[in-house]
Amino acid sequence: MNYSAIQKAFVSEMKLKKGDRVKVMRKPIFTKRDDASTMEYNWPCVWPTPMDKHVGKTYRVWSIDSNGIRLDNDYYYPVFVLHKVEDAIEPIKINHTYSAEIKDNGDVKVGCTTVSYAILKKIYNAATKQKEKK
């Protein structure tokens, strides 16, 4: 089976698309024979040594083509070394003391307290106005 057929099956199964986050899980296996050298599953590209430092890290999918999966670190990877990572809600910085997390229902978690976005906006606007007065 050629690499493009394998990639197509993996991409379909993972429902992988541009913008998804993936983790580089390992290096592909390189097989050296007397007559030829091949990468695992006949991946058509090479794995230069600088790519080793990306194993274990998470990146966004930039494109998907016959060379593999291009990530936002500008390297192509074979699809079989990647693991799709579900997007987690990343904390946003409110000020130097608190960070906030926007929940799926639109509420905002500040520290250990959850408040609605509308209330948080009122608090923020009031605090900004007080700061401007000083």
Which residue pairs from 83-92 have beta carbons closer than 8 angstroms and sit at least 24 positions apart in sequence?
A: 83/22, 83/23, 83/25, 84/14, 84/15, 84/16, 84/20, 84/21, 84/22, 85/20, 85/21, 85/22, 85/23, 85/58, 86/21, 87/21
- Tokens standing for residue 74: 């500008």
pLDDT at 96: 46
- pLDDT over 90 percentage in the chain: 40
Per residue in 38-65, pLDDT (tens digit) is 788 888 888 999 999 999 999 999 999 9
Residue type, 55: V
Residue 67 above 50 pLDDT? yes
Residue 47 DSSP code:
-
Q: pLDDT tens-digit profile of 83-123? A: 999 865 555 554 445 555 656 555 555 555 555 566 666 76
